[in-house]
Structure 1
Amino acid sequence: MKSPHVAAFFLAVPLLFSAGCASPHRYAYMPPPPPQPPYSSVPPLIEQASREGFRIGSDAGLRDAYRGAGYQPRRDRAFHDTPGYDPAFGPYGPYRDAFRNAYLQGYDRGFYRR
């Protein structure tokens, strides 16, 4: 006479092994994405423009504040001429825009002595 537990065991074993195989989901190994480039990498053109624009703008702002000329950052010749451009770094348009933005920030800091 067979034990009812033995019969149940032999019926349950095939169900356990087939349950994992009957899954409709297929999983594939996906490698992790490549690392992102550092966000602090600034092109040399923009770095040069920002450095020069801020330096020249802060000097001009300090000069205008000392003379009592009033806040006039866009009247300075350097704002329009954007000195320090080197064609070896790249196109002029991005340099001009970065220079003028940094110039205005520098002028503000120099004029208000912040």
Structure 2
Amino acid sequence: MCEDTMKLSRFALPLVAAGVIFTAGCSHPNYYAPPPPPPPPQSVPPLIQQANRDGFRAGHDDGARDAYNRFGYHPRHDRKYHDCPGYNPALGPFGPYRDAFRNAYLRGYYQGFYNQR
């Protein structure tokens, strides 16, 4: 019986391997779900809009002035960066205004200093 089992196993393994090889490409194509829809557009509060507008304008003006007068690139040394002018308490708290103003100021200063539009 041992010889019969060896003969059978000698032929069974290549048959199983051939079956796996021939049927591997016969599977169904993969289904890819469509991506989720984009998030709805976010509206920016008026307080942040004002801070972005005022901060960018002030930073751009100060950056251009410092570049023209060759004072060097020092955006955090200007008074406007620290004082954050233009705050209107009717629009909301000072903290978010200050943060948005300073971020916009730095962007504007960079563009003004390096004469970018």
Q: TM-score, normalised by structure 1?
A: 0.67
- Structure 1 residue identity aligned to 2:41: P
Identity of aligned residues (%): 68
Match of 1:72 among 50, 74, 78: 74
Q: Distance in 2 between matches of 1:38 and 1:78?
A: 31
- Residue by residue, what CA displacement relative to the aligned partner does 1:30-85 show, whole Å, maximum 9, x if unpaired? xxxxxx6532x100000000000000000000000000000000000000000000
Q: Could you say what the CA RMSD is over the residues aligned between the two structures, in angstroms?
A: 1.0
Which structure 1 residue ranges, 5 or more long, are not aligned?
A: 1-35
Q: Which consecutive aligned stretches of 4+ in structure 1 deviate over 4 angstroms post-superposition?
A: none
Task: Kindly tell me the number of residue pairs found equivalent between the two proteins.
Answer: 78
- Give the equivalent residue in structure 1 for 2:8: none
- Give the equivalent residue in structure 2 for 1:44: 46
Which structure 2 residue ranges, 5 or more long, are not aligned?
A: 1-38
- Give the equivalent residue in structure 2 for 1:83: 85
Q: TM-score, normalised by structure 2?
A: 0.65
